[in-house]
Structure 1
């Protein structure tokens, strides 16, 4: 198990934010991977987070199990599987520095997209866009999820214009990413990342992960979180720039 206190100083807020995201605060968990990548290689950080995400998925799917849209899942999941394979090939064939730079770029683009959307900017596909467009967004969601556990923006860009009822949107999102995270398991196994150290570290963080997910389910129905979101996205830009600088400096 990892014992470095710097790692846990980053991992504790990262896992807590990931739990809030799984509980309904969509998007805030995207900073978790960039935070951990400040202390570990991106692939190792992602491998530690994956078992935690799977457990959190189980909580969020159970909490929102009654409402979901089967058409969205049928269209986007096949594309997501393709995107995961592409993300695996990138991680397997290029240097850790390149993956670090990719993660930094994804972090910045994610945050800018979310801040732009929060100010009324148009960043979504038309509501009547055909299924093949949804498949392409699924590919993008799978790719960014494999690289950075950050598949939310491409998923939302195709799904949000459909104006699903809030419960259906949350339930569909929970099921989509639950399936996506299980699809990622063979890819991380093939990369040799399910080591005893990584799994024990994930296990140590699991109680916090479950507690924060239940906290998210409880809080999402009770508070307005606009300022919280803006702070997280601004922090993501800062972290993304730092990751790109770290990659440019040789990791």
Structure 2
């Protein structure tokens, strides 16, 4: 079967496909690396459509795996703003030069990540000062959520940004991660809510992507060859989630989101 890429190109895509599965069942921001891998081998617009089909496979696996773990009330508040973001992203793709896409999304993610990390570090320092002044020798308690992620303002802001960035470049993972890390969810609740969110969003994106020519049947053979890598990555993610501490998980999410934003901004 002619896959349309050389061996080196296929290995890069295979690594990206592995991270699709891993990101869907563990660290969502890892999918940003998949975006870069696919865009390195395939034309930018074509890579977006090809990756979307693998993301839908990863979504199906993640939704089944975490089918009882999603925070559905939180997700319900995101439906309208996400749809607005997807429509805005589809319009943006019609006229925006391709060179604008990655730096714009990367810049947004970097700013949001640094704000989140800065606020968390400030709160950790404040709690340590209060503990010392009270003569408490024990380690400070875990940092509480910085905002109410169920609030209308947070839902509208993060939902619309997630819809826009995922429509434009399949890069909504870091934005959604920053939103959910504020929601004080357990690890499986975080991953389950993330999985259900992107399953719905990617299905919403599919007709738009077909309509503007991003999804093409010419790459079906190539995508079929990458399916086992998505399945392997999903299995690795499921293995990790059962063994990672919540605080480690949250800081990993924040740092992966920041790194993803920097990489996108510098592309």
Give the superposition deviation at 1:86: 1.1
Which residue does the alignment assign to 2:136?
none
Is the alpha carbon distance of 1:117 and 1:228 closer, same or farther for their aligned partners in structure 2, counting shifts above 3 Å? closer
Aligned-partner SS, 1:161: coil
Instruction: Confirm or deny that 1:159 pairs with 2:180.
Output: yes
Is the alpha carbon distance of 1:18 and 1:110 closer, same or farther for their aligned partners in structure 2, counting shifts above 3 Å? farther
Give the superposition deviation at 1:205: 0.9
Is the alpha carbon distance of 1:143 and 1:218 closer, same or farther for their aligned partners in structure 2, counting shifts above 3 Å? same
Is the alpha carbon distance of 1:121 and 1:36 closer, same or farther for their aligned partners in structure 2, counting shifts above 3 Å? farther
Bigger mean CA offset, 160-169 vs 22-31? 160-169
- Answer whether contact 1:141 1:154 (CA < 8 A) is retained: yes
Instruction: Confirm or deny that 1:50 pairs with 2:52.
Output: yes
- Which residue, out of 10, 14, 17, partners 1:15? 17
Is the alpha carbon distance of 1:128 and 1:16 closer, same or farther for their aligned partners in structure 2, counting shifts above 3 Å? closer
Which residue does the alignment assign to 2:158?
137
Which residue does the alignment assign to 2:133?
none
Aligned-partner SS, 1:53: helix
4+ residue segments displaced more than 4 Å: 111-119, 223-236
Which residue does the alignment assign to 1:100?
99
Give the superposition deviation at 1:42: 2.2
Deviations 1:134-155 (A, max 9, x none): 1232111000011121212332
**How far apart in 2 are the matches of 1:66 and 1:227?**
24
Give the superposition deviation at 1:211: 1.4
Give the superposition deviation at 1:28: 1.5
Is the alpha carbon distance of 1:232 and 1:8 closer, same or farther for their aligned partners in structure 2, counting shifts above 3 Å? farther
- Which residue, out of 10, 24, 27, partners 1:25? 27
Give the superposition deviation at 1:112: 6.4
Which residue does the alignment assign to 1:174?
195
**How far apart in 1 are the matches of 2:14 and 2:183?**
35
Which residue does the alignment assign to 1:221?
242
Is the alpha carbon distance of 1:222 and 1:182 closer, same or farther for their aligned partners in structure 2, counting shifts above 3 Å? same
**How far apart in 1 are the matches of 2:154 and 2:255?**
29
Deviations 1:174-219 (A, max 9, x none): 1010000100100110112322223332222111111111211112
Which entry has the higher C-alpha Rg, 1 or 2?
2
CA-atom RMSD, angstroms?
2.9
Give the superposition deviation at 1:236: 6.2
- Answer whether contact 2:75 2:197 (CA < 8 A) is retained: yes
Aligned-partner SS, 2:42: coil
**How far apart in 1 are the matches of 2:256 and 2:200?**
29
TM-score by length of 2: 0.77
How many residue pairs align between the two structures? 238
